[in-house]
Chains A and B, each alone.
Chain A
Amino acid sequence: MHSPLLLTLKSRPMLAILYGASLALGLLVALPLFSTLTAEDADSLAPLRMLPGFDYTVYSDFMAENEKAVSPLLRVGRWVGVAYLLLSVFFAGGILYRFTQPGFAQPGNTKPGLGFRTVDFWRASSTYFGRYLRLLGVTGLFVFSAGLIWLVIGALAIVALTDTFTERGLFGIGAGAFGLFSIAVTFILCVGDYAKVIMFRDDERGAFRAFGTAVRFVWRNLRATYGRYWLLIGLGTGLFGLYFVLDELIGMSNWFTIGLMLLIQQAFILSRIVLKVWNLGIAYNLYGQTGTLRAHMPTGDVAPM
């Protein structure tokens, strides 16, 4: 696990591209919001009460007057999410390609970003975009189906057992169903990552076929694959906890603390991007070590579509 992490951390230009995309899309919502808030508070002193902490009355009165100005920005947030989802599909090829570059993967190489060429990154990204888009569809189909099954089972169980169980028991049933839902969904998402690697390393173009191969691979190496996937989720959750602690401790009550929290927030976002790339790196390495390579061994060249 260390090696992909080190390789990820050394790949600063790539991280900068991913982070930059996330920041740019976030700013599409945040900057208009800043302008809207500044303009719509009509030079009132009331918003100052929102500085030490959340003030429901100020918020409620503001939204009552300005909901029509603020709501479209939230809708933009939804579309920004869709855009980034497509971008992450696009970047997946470039990220995996980065792990194939000779020299980059050699232990002891400390030069940051050695071998990274933006043009290769874009080429790889665009090369694999089509097949990964298909894979997104396949993964989404399985996520939806598997998730729905457990949610429906959980809901039916709660309805059927309402008269039998106590609140605590029903909560347990709900939590159990949600747990199974989470396991099913994360398993499929983990499989999706390995399917990506298979499509990349084996030059597999069939999304269903790659997904099937990945299911078998993940299942055979459950601890190494799915276990590590959950480890990264745990790490991300821990970072989230740390963020909330810092948010509580620092607050955002003046320009200095606002600036400080902005840096912390962005560091947190960067850490999430690192986790995502690291996860792909782990999958790439693991499949390379234990997977059955069929046709195409990575050479650093991008396989043409």
Chain B
Amino acid sequence: MNRFLLIVLACLLGGEVLAFKPTQPLSPRIANYQIEVSLDPATKRLTGRQTLRWRNTSDDPITELQFHLYLNAFRSEKSTFMRESGGQLRGDYIDKDDKEAWGWIDLLSTRLTHDGGTGAAENLTGKVQFIQPDDANPDDRTVVRIPLKTPVRPGETVAIEMAFRAKLPKIFARTGFSRDYFLVGQWFPKIGVYEAPGTRYQTGPRGRWNCHQFHAHSEFYADFGVYDVRITTPTDYIVGATGQLKTETRTRNGFKTQHWHADDVVDFAWTASPRYEVVEDTWTRPSGGSVRIQLLMQPEHRAQADRHLHAVKASLSYFDRVLGRYPYPTLTVVDPPIHASGSAGMEYPTFITAGTSWGLPAGVRAPEIVTVHEFGHQYFMQLLASNEFEEAWLDEGFNQYFEGRIMDETYGPQTSQIDLFGFRMGDMESSRDSYVRLDNPAIGPSFGNTWQLPDGYYGVLTYSKTATWLRTLEGLVGRKTMDEIMRTYFERWQFRHPNAQNFIDIVNQIAPARTRFRYGPDMNWFFDQVLYGDKVCDYELTKIRNRKQGTGYRSTVQVTRRGDAQMPIDVLVHFEDGKELMLFWDGKARTHTFTHNGPSAVRWAIADPKQKLYIDTNLNNNSLTLAPSSAPAAKYATKMLFWVQNWIQWLAWLF
């Protein structure tokens, strides 16, 4: 077909042709799914059939396949998920006596065809075996292995056809149904990641499957691919999903089928409900291109649509400017109803769930926080597809750090979480607070398999502690260098599976040179303490002394290391004549005394004046003054007097 004719046809067919133009692969596209699924809202069941085209990118002949069957986490109380979560997540509980509350997935048939679907076929139905690679819990059925008669050759692509049937659980953890609302996540048989030698921590001569059971706190690790999913629902249901809607056709009586397409993603989730109010908008990238934003709002939350949009656009702009391009044309934000709040605050590729409630004051920025956070996972988890099972801090912690940066920049550093009736709290300081206020901040490292972290400390160690030490790293190397590190990390590892060492290597490549080796030839000492270790940081400015010496003063300033973490620290000394001096201590000894001879006495001093060491568990003891002011005490004593008097007047009205 000549070029002129192509142009004419393109003009005639307009957007439809453009929409289907072949896209340049951004990722290795190892696991590509074609799925047909239908939802029966009455029985809460899914009936599905999928063809997975999976490519063996290793040099190993692969003799078995491994798949996640996530929905089996809700099969019984004995699953690993239920045992770890105790049947509750984020404050929601599963009603164990309600048969409707449980969920499951069954594989009905499995068939593999070699050579991209054109070679020899192998019927694998009946060969599926449940395995429990993490905890040997025989009652957990969230991972299967399928032995093959004929191995998958290196470089070969196989087509695996599967038929499955699933029952969605009543939402209490991320996925399922609540009344006529459906949030369908982790719902199809999903192949694990075959880690070839050199991938992440795989150092042996042969690769291995990395396919963990569904745990209470981790679920993502998958290869990139292209998803073509045809979803059949009743016609009155509004559907949102990962990727773009391509076509919609009416099928049987009262049903419709939508075809959704997504390139270069690691997962696919969707939602359906007849109650959504759809709000659409567009974010235009400063360097060109745009992202179509679709909000699926609960009608009673419609007034908060602008809050969600503002947060989404702030996130898109921030990540685009600081980290890199959001490469997808769409983003869908789902606002779950209050009775399905267990599905709020979840991330899937190009598809996130937020969460709010009716009448929430603007000063309580819950919808903004959750929107910014979940959008951040488009980068940390989706584009930078780290292993959440083994290194949750790499996605949740990094994302928490960026949430803090975006929220603080957008809504004010001290008001980004709450700004109500004079009470104010910033996002980054909230993360720090969660960590430093632990009864024992030395409870554990951020690094480690999520299900093996100290019981009850998963959230604070992966989210809060990581965000706090990343902010500390930023303090040490400077925001500009930190951004260079993060950008390099993103550019180097997007659409791949990075691990801790990959990030540390980049830090060690960039930070020492940019800081003129102020902190040594590498930053391993830092990660050893905060990522792999459980060291606690607390420096205190303990003493200021001035002694008259001739016409001048001999002054001493003493700083004490209270914690076991050793961090380099600046000390700002302010003299009576207004002059200031910035000093530096490597922070290793228990105490350090600076001595200064000069014409003026020291008035005050601050250890770490720029709060670079944000991980310091007590920032109040970092300074000392010889001319203290009692004004703050007077302010709050006055307020206390007023409120006590008010309180007793309230009581007096009772009589």
Q: Which A residues fall within an 8 A CB radius of B?
A: 22-23, 25-27, 29-31, 33-34, 37-38, 41-48, 50-51, 53-58, 60-62, 64-65, 73, 77, 80-85, 88-89, 92, 132, 135-136, 139-140, 143, 162-163, 166-168, 171, 189, 192, 244, 247, 252, 254-255, 258, 261-262, 265-266, 268-269, 272-273, 276
Closest 6 CB pairs of A and B: A30-B641, A34-B637, A37-B633, A84-B648, A47-B632, A167-B358
Residue B426 CB within 8 A of the other chain: yes
* Total residue contacts A-B, CB cutoff 8 A: 197
B311 at the interface (CB under 8 A from A): no
Chain A min CB distance to B638 (Å):
5
With a CB–CB cut-off of 8 A, which chain B residues contact A261? 638
A85 with B652: CB separation less than 8 A? yes
Given A48-B629, A56-B425, A247-B422, 15 more A-B residue pairs with CB atoms under 8 Å apart are A23-B645, A25-B645, A26-B648, A33-B637, A37-B633, A41-B620, A44-B628, A45-B624, A47-B629, A50-B632, A60-B433, A77-B640, A136-B655, A143-B654, A265-B645
- List residues of chain B with CB within 8 A of the CB of A58: 619-620
How far, in whole Å, are A167 and B298 apart by their CA atoms in the complex? 10
Q: Which residues in chain B, 597-655, are within 8 Å of chain A measured between CB atoms?
A: 604, 606, 618-626, 628-642, 644-649, 651-655
Contact A57 B636 (CB under 8 A): no
Q: Which of B338, B634, B649 contacts A255 (CB 8 A)?
A: B634
9 contacts between A and B (CB under 8 A): A25-B648, A31-B637, A45-B623, A45-B624, A47-B629, A50-B635, A58-B620, A73-B640, A167-B359
Contact A84 B634 (CB under 8 A): no
Q: Is the CB of A254 within 8 A of B646?
A: no
Chain A residues near B651 (CB, 8 Å)? 81-82, 84-85, 88
A88 touches B625 (CB 8 A): no
Across-interface contacts of A266 in B (CB, < 8 A) = 642
Any A CB within 8 A of the CB of B432 = yes
Closest CB of chain B to A56's CB: distance in Å? 4
Chain B residues with Cβ below 8 Å from A171 are 358-359
Residues of chain B contacted by A73 (CB below 8 angstroms): 640
Are B628 and A166 interface neighbours, CB within 8 A? no
Contacts of A85 in B (CB 8 A): 648, 651-652, 654-655
Q: What residues of A have a CB within 8 angstroms of the CB of B414 in the complex?
A: 53, 55-56
Distance of B574 from chain A, by nearest CB (Å): 9
Question: Does A81 lie within 8 Å of B654, measured CB to CB?
Answer: no
In this complex, the member of A45, A82, A244 whose beta carbon has the largest number of chain B beta carbons within 10 angstroms is A45
Give Cα A57 to B199, complex, Å: 41
* A26 neighbours in B (Cβ, 8 Å): 641-642, 644-645, 648
Decide if B424 is an interface residue (CB 8 Å cutoff): yes
Asked if residues B429 and A57 are in contact (CB atoms below 8 Å), the reply is yes
B421's nearest neighbour on chain A, judged by CB, is A244
Instruction: Decide yes or no whether B300 CB sits under 8 A from chain A.
Output: yes
B654 touches A132 (CB 8 A): no
Q: How far is the CA of A280 from the CA of B366 in the complex (A)?
A: 45
Q: How many residues of B contact A (CB 8 A)?
A: 58
Q: Which B residues are closer than 8 A to A by beta carbons?
A: 179, 299-300, 338-339, 357-359, 414, 421-426, 429-430, 432-433, 436-437, 604, 606, 618-626, 628-642, 644-649, 651-655
Contacts of A44 in B (CB 8 A): 620-625, 628
A135 contacts across to B, CB distance below 8 A: 655
Of all chain A residues, which has the CB nearest B360? A167
A41, A140, A163: the one within 8 Å of B628 (CB): A41
Query: Shortest Cβ distance from B322 into chain A, in angstroms?
Result: 24
The docked-state distance in angstroms from the alpha carbon of A259 to that of B344 is: 47
- Verify B619–A57 contact, CB threshold 8 A: yes
Do B654 and A57 have beta carbons less than 8 Å apart? no
A269 and B423 contacting across the interface, CB-CB below 8 Å: no
Contact at B645–A53, with CB atoms within 8 Å?
Answer: no
Q: Nearest chain-B residue to A279 (Cβ)? A: B653
Most buried by A among B422, B433, B637, B642: B637
Of B622, B626, B631, B647, which one neighbours A43 at CB under 8 angstroms? B626
Contact A41–B648 (Cβ < 8 Å): no
Asked if A276 meets B649 with Cβ closer than 8 Å, knowing A45-B623, A54-B424, A85-B654, the reply is: yes
Whether the Cβ atoms of A167 and B338 lie closer than 8 Å is yes
B423's partner among A43, A54, A64 (CB-CB below 8 A) is A54
Asked if A51 meets B620 with Cβ closer than 8 Å, knowing A27-B641, A37-B637, the reply is: no
Q: How far is the CB of B418 from chain A (nearest CB, A)?
A: 8
Is there contact, CB below 8 Å, between A45 and B621? no
